[in-house]
């Protein structure tokens, strides 16, 4: 690239910092009035307009610069950026290709073509362009960073880790790369390595809110809850409007019984569909008897069953509740006397069931709703259990959720669970939803005998509710069946994965949300030994 004229260098630095862009534009206008074909001044005028998000103005300046210096690859690349910002995709792509042809060592246009491919979800194509960029500049940190993102999207975390490391190697203070790498290490269970990385980044710049928030999540995963809360607090002090951090802090606060602040921060959960249920600004004043509220279910079946206790609280206050949720729940909900089953197509304003604790200023844990199983389903499930084997009956589940970064996934290995339950003096009933191929055989081998297969009952909530009312014991990870068991008024033995969901609290062998349940907690290091020893002693 051509060295900037001294008079323009200070303006370029000012634009790079984003300082007084209007003033920079005025000075450049004066220069261009005297020298209209000054390609460098035209480039800087385009850059100033681009920083002000005046993309049409930037395009005009970059086109003039390209006419003044038709062989300059930088002008073509910048014009491509301005065109892309205006969704002039084909024109932008042509300019990036032109920039590549004009300068065979200029890496930015190849990376920009990769970013365009990535924006269309063409991750493999994006990687090809990032590779071309790196052929032109081997130490191009941003190309390694974007390659890592593409590999994450393709489900290749180990490859992504490698490219994030290269990005940081070439740009040690690359905070976004440090954060992303640490999060990937956390997802892989490499918590101490991730913590060290977050702290190294903060040692370079302790004003990065994302790093403090990620450190908070990391410390929670290691069981250091006070330190985790402090880290999230540091993040919010830097960036009060940080929804993801408030959500993560909510999970900590609720798990420690800080319900006031916890439910306030829970409003920032990523699952909330704010187009349908607006963000609640302040708690409700007391509703007068006869007032009506439309409530919309949120998240999964288990969460809907859980939050229905707060719908019941509306009835306690004399408020009529109309509820629209998962269609599979409708037959059960019609038996509740505190709610009218509704449909979203009925119109009107709706609130999310998951916002009710905040709106109602909840400071305690209401009991679960109660649901009575239908006699016909009770009779059918009773007969099936008798055919399966002698009582007592132990229902088990070993997995729940979807295994992907950021999702709530719970699992205990079949082999580990089998060791704790194989001497159960009755019939073991497999209630696992959607078991994987070969898992039935694996369970049989681990138990040294058969487990009655009732997995298909997950497709019929009436059958599963009847089973929850009938079986003598239920042991497993948290899932919808646990909520049905509570609704049936029965006890359960919950294998609580670490870090615990807030509804199981941060510590202890019970939860105020499910006071009749016994909890058996996975250790912070991922082991289940103590929990399974205690479970074995709890069972007959």
- Per-residue confidence (pLDDT) for residue 1, from 0 to 100: 47
Residue 7 binned pLDDT confidence (cut-offs 50, 70, 90): confident
- Both structure tokens of 124: 């493999």
**pTM exceeds cut of 0.85:** yes
| Lowest-confidence segment of 181-185, 315-319, 418-422, 533-537 by average pLDDT | 315-319
pLDDT above 90 for 17: no
What tens digit of pLDDT does each residue of 63-89 get?
999 999 999 999 999 999 999 999 999
Residue 407 binned pLDDT confidence (cut-offs 50, 70, 90): low
What b/e readout covers 354-392, taking b as 16+ CB neighbours within 10 angstroms? bbbbbbbebeebbebbebebbeebbeebeebbeebeeee
Rounded distance between C-alpha atoms, residue 353 and residue 334, angstroms? 17
- Per-residue confidence (pLDDT) for residue 3, from 0 to 100: 59
Element counts in the chain: helices (H) and strands (E): 25, 12
pLDDT above 90 for 312: yes
Ramachandran area for residue 258 (φ above 0: left; ψ -120 to 50: alpha; else beta): beta
What tens digit of pLDDT does each residue of 479-535 get?
999 999 999 999 999 999 999 999 999 999 999 999 999 999 999 999 999 999 999
pLDDT above 60 for 406: no
Whether the ω angle into residue 519 lies within 30 degrees of 0, i.e. cis, is no
What b/e readout covers 97-132, taking b as 16+ CB neighbours within 10 angstroms? ebbbebbeebbbbbbbbbbbbbeeeebebbbebbeb
Domains and CATH numbers, the chain: 6-106 (1.25.40.10), 172-265 (1.25.40.10), 272-368 (3.40.50), 375-538 (3.40.50.2000)
- Both structure tokens of 10: 């200070």
With a CB cutoff of 8 Å and minimum separation 6, the contacts of 503 are 254, 306, 478, 511, 513, 514
Q: Distances in Å between the alpha carbon of 237 and those of 98, 230, 469, 489?
A: 46, 10, 48, 44
């Amino acid at each position: 690239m051509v060295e900037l004229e001294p008079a323009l260098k200070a303006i370029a630095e000012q634009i790079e910092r984003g300082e007084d862009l209007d003033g920079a534009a005025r000075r450049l206008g004066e220069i261009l009035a005297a020298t209209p074909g000054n390609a460098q001044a035209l480039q800087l005028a385009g850059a100033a307009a681009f920083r002000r998000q005046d993309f049409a103005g930037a395009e005009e300046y970059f086109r003039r610069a390209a006419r003044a210096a038709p062989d300059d690859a930088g002008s073509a690349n910048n014009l491509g950026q301005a065109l892309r910002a205006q969704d002039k995709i084909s024109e932008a792509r042509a300019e990036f290709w032109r920039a590549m042809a004009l300068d065979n060592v200029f890496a930015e246009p190849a990376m920009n073509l990769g970013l365009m491919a990535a924006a269309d979800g063409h991750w493999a194509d994006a990687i090809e362009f990032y590779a071309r960029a790196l052929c032109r500049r081997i130490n191009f940190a941003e190309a390694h960073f974007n390659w890592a993102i593409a590999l994450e999207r393709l489900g290749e975390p180990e490859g992504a880790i490698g490219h994030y490391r290269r990005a940081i190697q070439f740009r040690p203070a690359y905070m976004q790369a440090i954060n992303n790498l640490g999060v990937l290490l956390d997802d892989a269970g490499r918590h101490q390595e991730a913590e060290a990385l977050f702290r190294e980044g903060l040692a370079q710049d302790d004003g990065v809110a994302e790093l403090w928030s990620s450190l908070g999540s990391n410390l929670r995963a290691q069981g250091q809850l006070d330190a985790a809360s402090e880290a999230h607090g540091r993040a919010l002090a830097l960036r009060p409007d940080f929804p993801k951090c408030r959500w993560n802090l909510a999970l900590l606060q609720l798990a420690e019984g800080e319900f006031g602040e916890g439910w306030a921060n829970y409003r920032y959960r990523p699952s909330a569909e704010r187009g349908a249920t607006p963000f609640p600004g302040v708690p409700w004043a007391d509703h007068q008897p006869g007032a009506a509220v439309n409530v919309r279910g949120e998240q999964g079946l288990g969460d809907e069953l859980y939050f229905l206790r707060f719908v019941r609280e509306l009835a306690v206050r004399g408020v009529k509740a109309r509820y629209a949720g998962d269609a599979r729940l409708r037959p059960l909900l019609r038996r509740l006397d505190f709610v009218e089953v509704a449909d979203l197509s009925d119109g009107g304003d709706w609130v999310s069931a998951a916002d009710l604790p905040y709106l109602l200023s909840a400071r305690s844990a209401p009991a679960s709703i109660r649901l009575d199983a239908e006699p016909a389903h009770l009779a059918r499930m009773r007969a099936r259990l008798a055919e399966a084997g002698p009582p007592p009956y132990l229902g088990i589940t070993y997995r729940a959720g979807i295994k992907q970064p950021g999702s709530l996934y719970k699992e205990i290995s079949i082999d580990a669970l089998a060791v704790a339950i194989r001497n159960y003096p009755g019939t073991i009933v497999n209630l696992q939803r959607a078991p994987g191929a070969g898992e039935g055989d694996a369970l049989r081998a681990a138990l040294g005998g058969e487990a009655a297969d009732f997995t298909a009952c997950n497709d019929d909530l009436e059958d599963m509710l009847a089973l929850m009312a009938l079986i003598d014991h239920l042991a497993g990870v948290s899932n919808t069946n646990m909520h049905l068991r509570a609704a049936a008024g029965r006890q359960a033995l919950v294998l609580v994965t670490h870090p615990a969901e807030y509804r199981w609290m941060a510590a202890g062998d019970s939860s105020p949300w499910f006071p009749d349940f016994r909890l058996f907690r996975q250790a912070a290091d991922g082991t289940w030994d103590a929990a399974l020893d205690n479970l074995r002693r709890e069972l007959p």
